[in-house]
Amino acid sequence: MIRFTAKLGIYFMLLDNTKNGFTLKTNFELKKAYLLFKIISSRTLTNIGKTVLEISLKLRLPILFLIKKTVFEQFCSGESLDKSYETVKKLNLKNVKSYLHYSVEGLVSENSYDLALKEVLNSIEFVANKKILDFTVFKPTAVASSIILEKVSNKKALDTNELKEYDNAFQRFDKICRLAHIRGVKLLVDAEESWIQDAIDEIVLKMMKNYNKEKVIIFNTLQMYRHDRLKYLKKLKNEADKNNFLLGVKIVRGAYIEKENRRAKRKNYRSPICESKKLTDINFNEGVEFIISNLKVFSIFCGTHNEESIYKIIDIMNLKRIDKNSSKIWFGQLYGMSDNITFNLAAEGFNVIKYLPYGPIKEVIPYLIRRAEENTSVKGQTSRELDLIKLELKRRRSI
Ligand SMILES: Cc1cc2nc3c(=O)[nH]c(=O)nc-3n(C[C@H](O)[C@H](O)[C@H](O)COP(=O)(O)OP(=O)(O)OC[C@H]3O[C@@H](n4cnc5c(N)ncnc54)[C@H](O)[C@@H]3O)c2cc1C
């Protein structure tokens, strides 16, 4: 393996191996992916696409087939759990694990929270019954009202109805975590906007205290673009030491940067986001180092497409002589992105897992729009995808 380090003067290239990286893609699929990333690398084309899509849906034009053949097939694993399981099996043949997420967003009623609860409980049973699956996931606002979560985060008093709603939400979290514990399924809880996150953190901490006694079942997500997260991480460790439980942490940089900064400006408070990308990177890497230095207490799931961070984690693991396939360290990437990271890590024997969103095409459109927008705003990521696809097509032509 791996790469150039100034100190060692060695050129390793683990993540550049495009043969491994695109092992599951046909030439046709590669060319299609190239065209798609080319389109979403342009803000103008992405905006035009979004508008055309919205109008077509309103006019009920038959556009779903086109979406299916393009963005849906690139970023989603299927329309149903069973269909997605075909993708899970394919990935597993290459030593890549999966976690499935019913990616329907924007639900906002007690009824829809109960439906989402049912979906998450089903997903736990589904994972428990499949040997090749270990994890499942849920988004807190799929089962709890963001209005109530915001009030609780701001320590505002709740009226009787709101207290009932909060209690219902807490019970939904508890049902999910209890079943995950009983069935031995690892559970990732996604992180959301900072103004509702304190309430989520408080609930998930209680869940970890209850259900992470013998092994790590519940993983909370820490967004290291927040300047207060390193401090919170250390606080979590103290809590765990004092109360004798284990910590699961999914560590990410964070997905809501524009929304966070906009709101902070509008409401005139200090943004919770680090002042620069560099500071976010430092925060992320320090967080990872802190966790990996305390594996007695922590298990870590590193959700990132940043190659420097991946190399850094591998360096730390090497330095601390931690096995590549330590059951306490997982790497995760989104389906349809950074396959070079996923498949090369898997080929080297690291624990690596793809996030597989699924659901009826019409319902997952908000997720697909977010994927396109994120790829448009993270320029480096998209041009890296394009370069790697070009390299692989060239390599295939030359053999
Ligand atoms: C498996 C997986 C699970 C995820 N789960 C969640 C989740 O639960 N919640 C969530 O919020 N996100 C989640 N994400 C998304 C994640 O937070 C990032 O948005 C995304 O992965 C891009 O970050 P990166 O580390 O891959 O790469 P990079 O391209 O190195 O980082 C881009 C990120 O850096 C930060 N950044 C960019 N510019 C600046 C700036 N000027 N100042 C400060 N920071 C900046 C932002 O967070 C941006 O998204 C998940 C990602 C993966 C792969």
Distance 226 CA to ligand 1 centre (A): 11
- Residues shown for the chain: 399
The pLDDT > 70 percentage for the chain reads 95
Residue 313 Cβ contacting ligand 1 at under 6 Å: no
CA–centroid distance, 255 to ligand 1, in Å, is 5
3-state secondary structure of 5: strand
Which atom, in ligand 1's list, is nearest to the CA of 333?
53
ω into 67 cis (within 30 of 0): no
- What are the sequence ranges of the domains in the chain? 78-366
Report helix, strand or coil for 90: helix
DSSP reduced 3-state for 105: coil
What is the rounded distance in angstroms from the CA atom of residue 143 to the CA atom of residue 116?
6
| Confidence band, pLDDT 50/70/90 cuts, at residue 91 | very high
- The CA distances from residue 347 to 4, 15, 147, 256, in Å, are 20, 10, 44, 32
Question: Residue 172 is inside which H or E element, if any?
Answer: helix 160-183
Q: Report the b/e string of 355-384 with b at 16+ CB within 10 A.
A: bbbbbebebbbebbbebbbbbbeeeebbeb
Evaluate: CB of 304 within 6 angstroms of ligand 1: yes
What is the Å distance from ligand 1's center to 252 Cα? 6
The residue whose C-alpha atom lies closest to atom 39 belonging to ligand 1 is: 277
Question: 176 is written with which tokens?
Answer: 């999910």
Q: Is the CB of 332 under 6 A from ligand 1?
A: yes
pLDDT tens by residue, 360-379: 888 888 888 878 877 776 66
Atom number of ligand 1 nearest to Cα 189: 8
Measured in angstroms, how far is the CA atom of residue 234 from the centroid of ligand 1?
21
> Is 24's pLDDT higher than 80?
yes
Give the per-residue pLDDT at 378. Answer: 66
Looking at residue 9, its amino acid is: G
Q: Is the pLDDT of residue 3 over 60?
A: no
The CB of 260 under 6 Å from ligand 1? The reply is no
Can you tell me which atom of ligand 1 is nearest the CA of 224? 47
What CATH number has the domain spanning 78-366? Answer: 3.20.20.220
Q: What is the pLDDT of residue 66?
A: 85
Closest CA to 219 of 285, 100, 301: 301
Tell me the CA–centroid distance for residue 254 and ligand 1, in Å. Answer: 4
- Cβ-defined contacts of 121-129 (< 8 Å, 24+): 121/175, 121/176, 121/179, 122/81, 123/81, 124/176, 124/179, 124/180, 124/183, 124/185, 124/187, 125/179, 125/183, 126/81, 126/100, 127/99, 127/100, 127/183, 127/185, 128/183, 128/184, 128/185
Question: pLDDT band at residue 13, thresholds of 50, 70 and 90?
Answer: low
Q: How far is CA 386 from CA 15, 363, 375, in A?
A: 15, 28, 12
Whole-number Å distance between alpha carbons of 256 and 371: 12
Q: Best mutation site among 193, 252, 280, 373 for ligand 1, i.e. most ligand atoms within 8 A of its Cβ?
A: 252
pLDDT at 105 over 80: no
Rounded Cα distance, 67 and 58, in Å:
15
pLDDT in tens, 264-295: 999 999 999 999 999 999 999 999 999 999 99
Contact 196, 164 (CB under 8 A): no
Q: Which residue has 């680090």 as its token pair?
A: 274
Q: Does residue 262 contact residue 319 with C-beta atoms inside 8 Å? A: no
* Predicted confidence (pLDDT) per residue in 220-234, tens digit: 999 999 999 999 999
Asked if residue 209 has pLDDT above 80, the reply is: yes
Residues 6+ apart with CB under 8 A from 156: none
Which residues are within 8 A (CB) of 110 and not within 5 positions of it... i.e. 6 or more apart?
A: 165, 168
- C-alpha 304 – ligand 1 centre gap (Å): 7
Contact 36, 74 (CB under 8 A): yes
Q: What is the pLDDT of residues 329-357, one digit of tens each?
A: 999 999 999 999 999 999 999 999 999 99
Is 90 exceeded by the pLDDT of residue 135? yes
- Measured in Å, residue 364 CA sits from the centre of ligand 1 at 20
Atom of ligand 1 nearest to the CA of 337: 53
